[in-house]
Amino acid sequence: MTLYIACDHLGVELKKELIKHLSNNGINAEEIGIENSELDDYPDFAFKLGDLVSRNIGSLGILICGNGVGMSIAANKVKGIRCVRATSVDDAFKGKNHNGCNVLAIGTNLGVDLAKEIVDTFLSTKPADVERYLKRIDKIISYENGEYNEL
């Protein structure tokens, strides 16, 4: 599995902590290669990471900004991305297991310890495999592809 990670200027320190945490657990997180500055804009990071995840089937992404909201909105504009903004372990679990999310957005406001728990849960949770969840995900994909047939 390829794991991409990116942040805006507000998430630089948390990103460093998460990369170290992941590395200590045998997981390599690939930074997306956009430099941070005080004038950077979160959509640039979300779009770049989203493009990478959507092109590399089976890969996952982690986005970090002040509270995760902006990153999740921007990432969800990229075709093929289902991004969960998680503020709890339960959000991370359900985002991936119930909704087939392939990108996690978190905020620095969570603190390092909770952020690590959320990331660990997201990465260790198996993807959706319950028929009703898969049906819902397929509807989202169909809509995204312009093929959705309303009820």
d(CA 84, CA 73): 9
Q: How far is CA 119 from the centre of its chain?
A: 9
Per-residue tokens: 82: 């289902």
Q: Is 98 a known active-site residue?
A: yes
Choosing from 7, 65, 83, 101, which is the catalytic residue?
A: 65
49: helix, coil or strand?
Answer: helix
Give yes or no for a contact between 32 and 49, defined as CB atoms under 8 angstroms apart: yes
In the chain, how long is the greatest CA-to-CA distance? 48
What letter does residue 10 receive in the DSSP assignment?
Answer: G
Catalytic residue among 7, 83, 98, 101: 98
Residues 6 or more apart whose Cβ sits within 8 Å of residue 20: none
Enter the tokens of residue 139. Answer: 């509807």
Whether 7 is catalytic:
no
DSSP annotation of 39 reads T
| Active site (catalytic) residues | 65, 98
